[in-house]
Structure 1
Amino acid sequence: MKIVIIGGGIAGSSLYIQLKKKHHEVFVIDPRIRKIFMTLIHSLLLKDSDVIIAKKSLDFYIENKIPLKEFKSITIGKIDAKLIDLWSQVGVKIEKDKIDWLNTEGIVAEHGDRLVYVKRMIDSIPIVKEKAFISQKGNNVEVLVNNKKIDADIFILASGPWNNLLFNVISKSYYCWASLVITRNKILDNIFIYDYEKEFYSRPFLGIGLKTAIVGDGKTIEAKPGTKINVNPLEVITKAQERLGNLRHIYTSGEFCEGTPDMRPAYGRLLDNLFYIGGFNGYGAEIGPGIASLLVDMIENGYENKEYLLDRFRGIKNFELGREAHEL
């Protein structure tokens, strides 16, 4: 089949790789107006079925030689024992311990958290560097690039926060952001911290032992992609300092994410020749390739995983964005 993917981020790149291996003729259209971060978090320490999807994503990265760098992590807060068992089942080594340098108890995990070099994957995918325009024609869509109609057997909408601007899908865009800080303890550049008591996360900046870290988990700010957003970095840094000690702000950066009514990912068929993948809600590096594999299975075999199917939002006209689903 000839398949055109509209959007070349984590979803589009993952789909391209998987569909090419199935011997389809695949093209990706992306204007490259979105900032692409060098690394993003890949964590297996998610919730419920998302843990299994994250494991699928990890297997995808390993199989396709996408660079990964593994770190230990500390999770602080009350975590359900069944969830800890699920983490263990996907290969995470768990130990409950007192962390003296944080003056708290926590769950120390090995093999659960990594930085994945997503930019290398995204940059490796050939693209048509243009904007695509979608219009509905009966129960199909017509896609134009430079006023020229694009022919394909199927199209896949995979444009993240731009999805609901390109077509009528039940999602919203919002601003995701985090801050780079100077720390007193270089261990913070070699460990992940998920603090569900103070409500922040900390991740390595480069992972080479500098006295730096990236901290995040500010409020969700609903806005259209490209909107100029001003945030107060102290919203997060002040909370993080209660646990980590003094932090000095260097800069704050972010991009736009796509949220669904339940803040979980979705995929499915919109029209006869149009499919959708999105709603990654800020954790696309964890679940993107895994959800892409579900969509490939649907296209090739008709299989539907109803837990992630877009149809679950049928009848919803409007909604408020909630907490990102990876926040326990």
Structure 2
Amino acid sequence: MLKVTIIGSGIAGSSLYYMFKKAGFSVKVIDPRIRRIFPSLIHSLLLVDKDVYLSSLALDFYKEFSVETKEFPSFTIGNVDEKLVNLWEEYGVKIEERRLFDSQGLYALGGDRLVYVKKMIDNVPVIKERASIIKRGNTVTVKVNNSEVNTDIIILAAGPWNNQIFDVPTKSYYCWASLTLTQNKELDRMFVYDYELSFYSRPFLGIGIKTAIIGDGEAIEAKPCQRIKVNPEEVMSKARKRLGDLKIIYTSGEFCEGTPDMRPAYGRLLDNLYFIGGFNGYGAEVGPGVARLLFNFITKGDEDKDYIIDRFKGIKDFKIGKEPHEL
């Protein structure tokens, strides 16, 4: 029986744990569990190009492993290419033009949901320690507390910590949003994607109370666990123009990981070392989908060149760019 060691138990690492465990592999997950896990995150099919396929794979994963989701309608404001609308509809999203918030936009059913990832992640058994990777020729070993882990395959899935553990072409940055009081309880029952004013709004609890989570502020390049100050009014002033009076309850965030083209990546780094990451804050949407690609790559040899990490060979440095899911 092949032994798999996964470094990181976020959405990617947890997804891989469930996949390999179901396939009969011996699986260990190492994670100090210092990162806060939010109870729910956004899953949307309203992405761009092939990332819609990744999102559909993620949704299949949530259904296969009984991860709780709750569907909500969404309203998208801004110019959306007809080909993209057709693509969303191919994946089962029902779309019609409507006027809401004094704006014309696309009202969608079946495209957006909250996925309750915390229980999924918490149910993964972990070795609650920090792992280190030591390169030896074209292979690596993993050590925990100076003891070598007996394993055949190592998967680096530590999100924003990936480039601190091994030399990979990713950078970490801070992404954040604000919990707000609203005048419209419907904002806790729907998603709003405003590409004219550059903000999003999502349900907080999804039960119709006068709250919403609003975000899409500037990404701040920084190492994980740094103390970061943000100005929530940067986003809130724009959102008020569309949604009316909004009062900030608190602002919070976490560190995300980006690649040179700000798209997900996976692949083999060395003979026994594999990588998955670069979700750009969209882990719940594309993470299990990329995990499925990596699982198929390891177990079947399948390769999806659009997401393979080899596309970054020769890149030494880059700047964090705009998330490619945004229109």
Q: Is the pair's TM-score, using the shorter chain for normalization, greater than 0.5?
A: yes
The one-letter code of the counterpart of 2:155 is I
Following TM superposition, by how much is the alpha carbon of 1:142 offset from its aligned partner in structure 2, in angstroms?
Answer: 1.3
Aligned position for 1:32: 33
1:81-106 deviation line (CA, Å, top 9, x unaligned):
0000010011100101222xx00100
Q: Which 4+ stretches in 1 moved above 6 angstroms? A: none
State the number of aligned residues. 326
| Structure 2 stretches lacking a partner, 5+ long | none
Following TM superposition, by how much is the alpha carbon of 1:23 offset from its aligned partner in structure 2, in angstroms?
Answer: 0.8
1:149-181 deviation line (CA, Å, top 9, x unaligned):
011111000000000000000000000100000
1:228-281 deviation line (CA, Å, top 9, x unaligned):
000011011111001000100100000000000010000000000100000001
Identical counterparts, % of pairs: 63
Aligned position for 2:79: 78
SS in 1 for 2:263: coil
The one-letter code of the counterpart of 2:116 is Y
Aligned position for 1:107: 106
The one-letter code of the counterpart of 1:239 is K
SS in 1 for 2:191: strand
| Structure 1 stretches lacking a partner, 5+ long | none
SS in 2 for 1:27: strand
Asked if residue 236 in structure 1 is aligned to residue 235 in structure 2, the reply is: yes
What is the alpha-carbon distance in structure 1 between the residues aligned to residue 30 and residue 120 of structure 2?
16
What is the alpha-carbon distance in structure 2 between the residues aligned to residue 227 and residue 240 of structure 1?
27
What is the alpha-carbon distance in structure 1 between the residues aligned to residue 161 and residue 277 of structure 2?
10
What is the alpha-carbon distance in structure 1 between the residues aligned to residue 279 and residue 124 of structure 2?
20
Asked if residue 204 in structure 1 is aligned to residue 203 in structure 2, the reply is: yes
What is the alpha-carbon distance in structure 2 between the residues aligned to residue 161 and residue 172 of structure 1?
7
Asked if residue 321 in structure 1 is aligned to residue 285 in structure 2, the reply is: no
TM-score, L = length of structure 2: 0.99
What is the alpha-carbon distance in structure 1 between the residues aligned to residue 152 and residue 64 of structure 2?
28
Aligned position for 1:284: 283
What is the alpha-carbon distance in structure 2 between the residues aligned to residue 124 and residue 111 of structure 1?
28
The one-letter code of the counterpart of 2:184 is N
SS in 2 for 1:51: helix
Structure 2 counterparts to residues 92-131 of structure 1, below 5 A: 92-99=93-100, 102-131=101-130
Asked if residue 226 in structure 1 is aligned to residue 225 in structure 2, the reply is: yes
The one-letter code of the counterpart of 2:69 is L
Aligned position for 2:270: 271
SS in 2 for 1:326: coil
Following TM superposition, by how much is the alpha carbon of 1:283 offset from its aligned partner in structure 2, in angstroms?
Answer: 0.2
Aligned position for 2:147: 148
SS in 2 for 1:255: strand
Following TM superposition, by how much is the alpha carbon of 1:302 offset from its aligned partner in structure 2, in angstroms?
Answer: 1.1
Aligned position for 2:259: 260
What is the alpha-carbon distance in structure 2 between the residues aligned to residue 136 and residue 179 of structure 1?
41
Following TM superposition, by how much is the alpha carbon of 1:282 offset from its aligned partner in structure 2, in angstroms?
Answer: 0.6
What is the alpha-carbon distance in structure 1 between the residues aligned to residue 184 and residue 123 of structure 2?
36
Structure 2 counterparts to residues 151-166 of structure 1, below 5 A: 151-166=150-165
SS in 2 for 1:319: coil
Aligned position for 1:69: 70
Following TM superposition, by how much is the alpha carbon of 1:326 offset from its aligned partner in structure 2, in angstroms?
Answer: 1.6
Following TM superposition, by how much is the alpha carbon of 1:301 offset from its aligned partner in structure 2, in angstroms?
Answer: 1.2
The one-letter code of the counterpart of 1:170 is P
Aligned position for 2:16: 15
Following TM superposition, by how much is the alpha carbon of 1:48 offset from its aligned partner in structure 2, in angstroms?
Answer: 0.4
What is the alpha-carbon distance in structure 2 between the residues aligned to residue 86 and residue 227 of structure 1?
39
